[in-house]
Amino acid sequence: MATVLVIDAANVVGSRPDGWWKDRSGAARRLHEQVMVADTTYDRIVLVLEGAAKGGVKAGRDGHVRTVHAKGAGDDTIVAETRDAVAAGHRVTVVTADQLLRALVQGAGAMAMSPSWLLDQL
């Protein structure tokens, strides 16, 4: 069974008061770079970007990391990615601080972790 980590990039970036709001695309790029070199136990990582952050990383696969540009709300894309991975038989962990989103992905069969948990992994 493959393991998949779905990252709510807006929540992770927003959890650090490092001036990310002045350069959302740069903050997304830095998170992508950290995820690319992180030594995790996940087979696949899905990084979901929305809004201005999409300008920092192009959509598509880069090694074991797939960047997805949300067409609308990032939460909808995260739920869809989660449901697809669970339906494919994968074990899924979603990183978000959003309580409603956590409930939705847990209802879909995923585990939810906090941005601080991910940042500790990076």
- Asked if residues 120 and 9 have their Cβ atoms less than 8 Å apart, the reply is no
CA distance 114 to 122: 13
Mean model confidence pLDDT for the chain: 92
**Cβ-based neighbours of 18, under 8 Å, separated by 6 or more:** 27
| Residue 44 predicted with pLDDT over 80 | yes
Say what the pLDDT of residue 50 is.
93
pLDDT at residue 22 above 90? no
pTM of the predicted model over 0.75? yes
Compute φ and ψ for 98, nearest 5 degrees.
Answer: -70, 115
The tally of domains found in the chain comes to: 1
116: CATH: 3.40.50.1010
Expressed as residue numbers, the domain containing 67 is 3-121
d(CA 26, CA 41): 26
| 47-100: pLDDT as tens digits | 999 998 999 999 999 889 999 999 988 899 999 999 999 999 999 999 999 999
Pick from 19-28, 57-66, 112-121: least confident: 19-28
Q: Give the whole-angstrom CA distance, residue 81 versus residue 114.
A: 18
Residues 6+ apart with CB under 8 A from 100: 75
